[in-house]
Amino acid sequence: MDELTNVDVAEQKPRILFVDDEPRILVALKALFRKDYDVVTANSGAAALDILREGDVDVVVSDQRMPEMTGVEVLRSAKDIRPRAIRVLLTGYSDLSAILAAINDGEIFRFINKPWSNVDLRQTIAAAVKASAIEHVELVVEGDINEKVYIPGIDDVGTLILDDDEATRDTLQRVLGRERAVYSARNLNEGLEQLEKHKIGVIITDLVVGGDVVTDLLSALRQHHPSLVAIVLTGQSDAEQGIDLINRGQIYRFLTKPISEGLLRGSVNLAMRRYEILHKNPAQALRIAAEAAPPANDTRGVFKRIGRLFGLTA
């Protein structure tokens, strides 16, 4: 402990906690990052939580598959103990439920596959450290978030539903339309038109709309409109897409159909408050900065339009 304090005082290195049940991974990661960061390791979830309780940590990087406690559970607890800490999942293989939990419960920053590339991992950790430098604004929830809640000033902005299924659009409009303005779009073009026309804080979208995966759209929106909060509501489920949505889309929630009305309303209410925070504190958006990978092929000129849209409005 003393040693640690000395180092802190001396260099003020960002502190990174690596959690993995395989000690050799921890050795390798420590070897990789010890020069630049204050590296702390834990070989179980419980040990990691102990460390988190003892002192502040900037970034938590955890493996998913560990005995007794999974990585997502560790990160969820980390979010409660150290909300400011940026959470990253580093795993060899994970199923869809783990990915969904990582998004919805862990609100993780990145999802990294093993084996990793040292260069990429360094970049990701650097981005995470950078995000952690932004002071975290706590999202305060009063009352039951799943109930109908309308707060003037917060819920003034509209919600955009992007789905090619008419029944879904109608249902969402009916459920959400009682509390706030809801706009719906059948495809990306219509969605962009709605975004141009109205003030929209939350976008609820299917994973695939009109035959196009929305990841690229969300990624582009994240780049140009960081405060927009995205919820993916889909009947399809795809692990790769989920990972992509985390890393490039930084979506707020990944919901699967069918969904209970309470969960849906709660998720939207939370997203609205999230938008409010992001809107009022633009710097907060950096905490959820996505990978700025330019889209490989800009089909249908969607991204040019997004650029133009936010270039004009911003």
Partner 1 sequence: MPTKTIIRKLSMRFMLHRNKTAGLNKRTAGFTLQRLLVVLAVSLALALIVFLLWKMLRNPLEAGLHVIRLEQIDSAAKADVELNQQILRARLVLDSGARELELARDRFDVAQSSLSSGKAGLSDLSRDIDQSLQIYRTQAGDKLTLLNDYSARLARLAQYFSVMRVAGISVLNVPAVNSSASLRKRIMMLLQEATAYSLQSSPENAFVMNQLTTEVGEAADQLDNDVARGALAHLLETVSLLRSSRDDLQKLIGQFDAIETGAALQNLQFAYENHFQGLQDTARRYRQTLAVYAVALLLAFGLIAVRLRSSFSALDNANNELQDTNSNLALIVNKRTQALSKALDDLKMQQGQLIQSEKMASLGQMVAGVAHEINTPLGYASSNVEIIRESLQGMGHEVDAESREEFDVLLADVEHGLNQISELVASLKDFSRVDRSQSQLFDLNTGIDTALKVCNSQLKDGVSIERHFAELPEINCAPSQLNQVFLNLINNAAQAMDGKGLIQITTRQVGGDVEVAIRDNGCGMNEGTRAHIFEPFFTTKAVGKGTGLGLSIVFRIIDDHGGTIQVESELGKGTEFVVRLPIKKAGKAADVSPANDVVLLGE
- Interface residues with partner 1 (CB under 8 A) are 20, 22, 24-25, 27-29, 31-32, 63, 65, 90-96, 99, 113-116, 118, 121, 165, 167-168, 171-172, 175, 207-208, 210-213, 235-241, 256-261, 264
Give yes or no for a contact between 169 and 206, defined as CB atoms under 8 angstroms apart.
Answer: no
Four-residue CA torsion sign, 175, 76, 139, 17: negative
What is the CA 235 to chain-centroid distance, rounded? Answer: 20
Query: Which residue number, 227 or 241, has a Cβ lying nearer to partner 1?
Result: 241
What is the residue whose two structure tokens read 């609205």? 272
What is the CA 278 to chain-centroid distance, rounded? Answer: 13
State how far the Cα of 225 lies from the Cα of 219, in Å rounded to an integer. 10
State how far the Cα of 111 lies from the Cα of 195, in Å rounded to an integer. 29
Query: Which residue number, 144 or 240, has a Cβ lying nearer to partner 1?
Result: 240
Q: Which string of DSSP letters, residue by residue, matches 268-289?
A: HHHHHHHHHHHHH-GGGGGGGP
DSSP 13: P
Question: Closest separation between CB of residue 17 and partner 1, Å?
Answer: 17
What is the CA 92 to chain-centroid distance, rounded? Answer: 20
Q: How far apart are the first and last CA of the chain?
A: 48
Question: Closest separation between CB of residue 116 and partner 1, Å?
Answer: 6
**Alpha helix stretches (DSSP H) within 34-87:** 45-54, 71-81
Query: Which residue number, 235 or 294, has a Cβ lying nearer to partner 1?
Result: 235
Question: Closest separation between CB of residue 172 and partner 1, Å?
Answer: 7
Question: Closest separation between CB of residue 302 and partner 1, Å?
Answer: 14
Question: Closest separation between CB of residue 240 and partner 1, Å?
Answer: 6
Query: Which residue number, 56 or 95, has a Cβ lying nearer to partner 1?
Result: 95
Question: Closest separation between CB of residue 62 and partner 1, Å?
Answer: 13
What is the CA 266 to chain-centroid distance, rounded? Answer: 17
Query: Which residue number, 145 or 259, has a Cβ lying nearer to partner 1?
Result: 259
Query: Which residue number, 28 or 133, has a Cβ lying nearer to partner 1?
Result: 28
Residue 94, CB-side half-sphere exposure with 13 Å CA sphere: 27
| Bond preceding residue 115 cis, omega within 30 of 0 | yes
Query: Which residue number, 154 or 264, has a Cβ lying nearer to partner 1?
Result: 264
Question: Closest separation between CB of residue 106 and partner 1, Å?
Answer: 17
Give yes or no for a contact between 257 and 236, defined as CB atoms under 8 angstroms apart.
Answer: no
Question: Closest separation between CB of residue 168 and partner 1, Å?
Answer: 5
Query: Which residue number, 189 or 256, has a Cβ lying nearer to partner 1?
Result: 256
